[in-house]
Structure 1
Amino acid sequence: MADPVEVIRSAALGGIPHGFLGRRGGASEGVVAGLNVGHGAGDDAEAVAENRRRAIAAVLPGTALATVYQVHSADAVTVVRPWPQADRPRADALATDRPGVLLGVVTADCAPVLLADVEAGVVGAAHAGWRGAHAGVLEAVVGEMAGLGARRERIVAAIGPAIGQASYEVDDAFRSHFTQADESFFAPGRPGHWQFDLEGYANARLERAGIAAVDRLGLDTYPDAERFFSYRRATHRGEPAYGRQISLIGLRL
């Protein structure tokens, strides 16, 4: 793709360097063409490295990227400096108060969430699929930020491109993981199925964590193949691999 890197920003995060990136502007080719940043996509390693360089340059040039080995958990970690690729902790959220560190989470339908307390100089990022959100990953990253001096009543968050409710069909077995208190996030579908509102559910978990505000960008990854990678779309199409996009937030030096 010849397009420049697209950086989607949230007004709620103000002047904090951040961006939700899609697939435009990357070096990868084939079924994961574009800005694929996932090492597990069967992509050329140099293309992935180049895509990550482009992503950093588009959001906060000259910084060091910190990521984790994402496992759909409720675990959050504090970042002092990025880890070597082979030594990344198994977790799904990160927080830092260190200028020059750029936090990154990769997604392909799950909800990327970026958070900041501007006054405290603390930022966070979370990979919130349904399992992680249900287990408490969003509350965990807010707690990790609070441990660095952030105050819940000052933290703002933005939920980036994720699979939308109209695209996210789930079955009764999935629905059984949730309580009646969560019924508003499930719209009836065909018999034995529901349409799940992941973005709305993540928003509710953040609000219950006591933060100041949440910006829902309302961008559905599934139908827009030119703009976003989507695990579910690739699966439905029978494609052999799927790309991952990255969401980034950091503090200027």
Structure 2
Amino acid sequence: MTLPRIADEDLGAPHGFFTRQGGVSEGGYASLNCSTSGADDPSRVAENRARVAASLGVAPGALFGVRQVHGVRCAVLEAPWDTPPEADALATRLPAVALGVVTADCGPVLFADSAAGVVAAAHAGWRGAVDGVLEATVAAMVGLGAEPGRIMAVVGPCIRQPSYEVAADLRDAVLARDADDARFFADGVRAGRWQFDLAGYCAARLAACGVNVRIVAHDTLAEEALFFSHRRRTLAGGGAIGHQISAIAGLG
């Protein structure tokens, strides 16, 4: 089954940054909601995830994820698990599986070292990115035999700088780690606010690890027809929200 998705041919593994289109969910979850932790009908979520798995050439039960907590842990899938662990990234050398993370403004990042047969997926909100989830993902891949210089990483659709107004708490947390990261902030429209370049920040953290990195040029808040957005939902006063999935198939 083919679903609307965004892909980067240089990644070297079957993958997709899937949109909100092509699923069976309804209402605020319409239509390819892939989050298992929301209030959507579980049977509809299962069908949506099965469609993603089929699009990547794996069995419905072979699409694995984690219970995302905005942390820094990268879980290693060494054998199929029944209960997803708490983590914000996962890596594997297994064949015939796919790894996925769900987002609704945070940065999804897909990784592959095709020579080593190692792939990974990470969920990088600003806090996880600052605390080191991307570096933890690279380290987990290296532990499976990957080499940083061979790893290709793609930062997928997320909230982009023109849409991402932030307050001093976020800016202070970023600059407390490295004052030079002020380059990822532009002045906001309102006093005491800034526009944060999450995608650029994630790419820079990965480049510092020696990884080859690219950025997909899509804005989840601005492109309502294509993407779910937590910020858009908040600005609208609340309501149901789905999450798109970004997933990559194993090469082992």
TM range (shorter): over 0.9
Report what 1:160 is aligned to.
156
Deviation track 1:41-83 (CA, whole Å, cap 9, x = no partner) reads: 3111111010000111112233601111000001111101232
- 2:137 is the alignment partner of 1:141: yes
The residue type equivalent to 1:194 in the other structure is W
Q: What is aligned with 2:222? A: 223
Structure 1 residue aligned with 2:50: 53
Mapping of 1:2-41 within 5 angstroms?
A: 5-14=3-12, 16-41=13-38
Number of residue pairs matched by the alignment: 246
Structure 1: gaps (5+ residues): none
RMSD across aligned C-alpha pairs, in angstroms?
Answer: 1.3
8 Å Cα contact 1:81/1:101 also seen in 2:
no
After superposition, the C-alpha distances for 1:166-201 in whole angstroms (9 at most, x for unaligned) are: 110001122111222110100001200000000000
| Preserved CA contact (<8 Å) 1:27 1:50 | yes
**Matched residues in 1 for 2:126 and 2:118: separation?**
25
2-structure distance, mates of 1:78, 1:252: 15
Which consecutive aligned stretches of 4+ in structure 1 deviate over 3 angstroms post-superposition?
Answer: none
User: Secondary structure of the residue that 2:173 maps to in structure 1?
Assistant: coil
Structure 1 partner of 2:247? 248
**1:198 alignment counterpart:** 198
Pick aligned residue for 1:103 from 95, 99, 102: 99
> Which shifted more, 202-211 or 232-241?
232-241
1:174 aligns with 2:170: yes
Distance 1:100 1:153 in 2: 25
* Amino acid across the alignment from 2:210: G
Q: 1: distance between equivalents of 2:17 and 2:167?
A: 29
**Do the aligned partners of 1:31 and 1:239 also contact (CA within 8 Å) in 2?**
no
Q: TM-score, normalised by structure 1?
A: 0.94
Distance in 2, Cα, partners of 1:216 & 1:93? 18
Letter in 1 for 2:149: E
Answer whether contact 1:65 1:82 (CA < 8 A) is retained.
no
What is the DSSP-based 3-state SS (H/G/I as helix, E as strand, rest coil) of the residue aligned with 2:44?
A: helix
Alignment equivalent of 1:151, drawn from 147, 171, 183 = 147
1:178 is paired with a residue of what secondary structure?
Answer: helix
2:80 aligned with 1:82, yes or no?
yes
Q: Partner residue of 1:237?
A: 236
Query: Secondary structure at 2:232's aligned position in 1?
Result: helix
Structure 2: how far apart are the matches of 1:110 and 1:123? 20
Gaps of 5+ in 2: none
Name the CA distance, whole Å, in 2 between partners of 1:252 and 1:145.
13
The residue type paired with residue 209 of structure 2 is: A
Task: Find the aligned partners of 1:137 and 1:229 in 2 and give their Cα distance.
Answer: 22
Aligned residue for 2:174, secondary structure, equals coil
Distance in 2 between residues matched to 1:39 and 1:238, nearest whole Å: 23
Deviation, 1:5, is 2.1
Amino acid at match of 2:8: S
Report % sequence identity: 51
